[in-house]
Amino acid sequence: MHKTPLYPLKFEPILKDKIWGGEKLKKVLDKPTDSKECGESWELSGVAGDVSIVSEGELKGKSLTELIGTYTGDLLGKKVYSRFGNNFPLLIKFIDANQDLSIQVHPNDAMAKERHNSFGKTEMWYVVDAEPGATLISGFNKPTSKEEYLEYFNSGKLTDLLNKENVENDDVFYLPAGRVHTIGKGLLIAEIQQTSDITYRIYDFDRTDAQGNKRELHVEQALGAIDFGFYKEYKTAYDKSASETNLVSCNYFTTNKLIVEKEVKRDYQSIDSFIVLMCLAGSGTIDFGRGKISYTLGDTLLVPNQLGEIDINPEQKSKLMEVYIS
């Protein structure tokens, strides 16, 4: 059977309105929405009911699930395909927080498997744009226990126990499953996470929707998922000016940041994985041997494992996140 040759793939964004969303996904990243409450753009998703569809080229209209079924290891990498089968292992998003998100936590693999027959949710954030004074919450601000947590929670003072971070452009936060967190107002974030849509909402600031309804909380479920450990550093330290730097390496994904000012070759032949490239600034083209594909701010591309190497040719100085399974 003839297979269409693979190439770097772009997908239709899956746009989701949220009570806390805004207009930056359209105004900054040029996503196709007129909503004033667009909170998320799912760039690359294998989540049931929200599977990404190819937007360009000969495979336009094909779903990510169809592609994996057809191309298996040629698309994902043999090691990744043997580990995950037809389940795409990452969910890639842009998030616009026009208001604070709920305080929340995600379960680890074991709990998510037992409770939801799902993957857990370890994730990372890259701050694309931060308004002056923007903050977020990650973890606790002092050693604590389940009993102390409940004491603060029940007295309405939970936020006094949580670690609040001042945030600037290009900051990075790694959030292993179990870490209590929330994205604060005024942040536009690129998120890399395991394929999971399971969130335990702990506190939602008593917000109501247009009908006056509060969103569901998952207080008991969250209690079993929370990591009560205290960590001295929650923000990832790295050299923001380096042309290539590793941001996160964990069991679920490896993420590097590339600053590209002139043509650069990326050799992926030793990596038995697909590659995701997210453009966070600039524009240019990717030469994959038998053709070229353009990229610009807000684009996400899936580079099939089979391609092996690519050339990145910036037209404007480019900032790219490079993600794969190691």
Q: Residue 151's domain is classified under what CATH number?
A: 2.60.120.10
User: Does the residue 239 lie in any domain?
Assistant: no
**Residues 82, 142 within the same domain:** yes
pLDDT (mean) for 107-134: 95
- Banded model confidence at residue 19, pLDDT cuts 50, 70, 90: very high
HSE-up of residue 279 (Cα within 13 Å, Cβ side): 27
- What pLDDT, on a 0 to 100 scale, did the predictor assign at position 210? 76
Average pLDDT rounded to a whole number, residues 67-75: 98
Establish if 286 belongs to a structural domain.
Answer: yes
Give the chain's length: 326
CA atoms of 153 and 144, how far apart (whole Å): 12
Task: Report the relative pairing of strands 9-10 and 300-303 from DSSP bridges.
Answer: antiparallel
Whether residues 161 and 28 share a domain: the answer is: yes
**120 lies in the same domain as 205:** yes
Q: In total, how many domains does the chain have?
A: 2
Cβ pair 64, 300 in contact under 8 A: no
If asked whether residues 192 and 280 sit together in one domain, one would say no
Question: Is 290 known to be catalytic?
Answer: no
For residues 148 and 18, membership in a common domain is answered with yes
Asked if 199 and 266 sit in the same domain, the reply is: no
Residues 291 and 192 both lie in one domain: no
- Burial of residue 290 (CB within 10 Å: 0-12, 13-18, 19+) is exposed
Residue 308's domain comprises 244-324
pLDDT over 80 at 35, yes or no: yes
Q: Check residue 1 and give its pLDDT.
A: 62
pLDDT value for 231: 95
Dihedral sign for Cα 136, 141, 146, 148, please.
Answer: negative
Share of the chain above pLDDT 70, in %: 100
Do residue 307 and residue 216 come from a single domain?
A: no
233 assigned to some structural domain? no
User: Which two tokens mark 153?
Assistant: 């929670």
Q: What is the mean pLDDT of the chain?
A: 96
Looking at the structure, tell me whether residues 199 and 82 fall in a common domain.
yes
Q: Are residues 74 and 126 in the same domain?
A: yes
* Residue 288, helix vs strand vs coil: coil
Q: 277 and 204 share a domain?
A: no
Residue 269 contacts by C-beta under 8 Å, 6 or more apart in sequence?
A: 308, 309
Catalytic residue, chosen from 83, 179, 201, 290, is 201
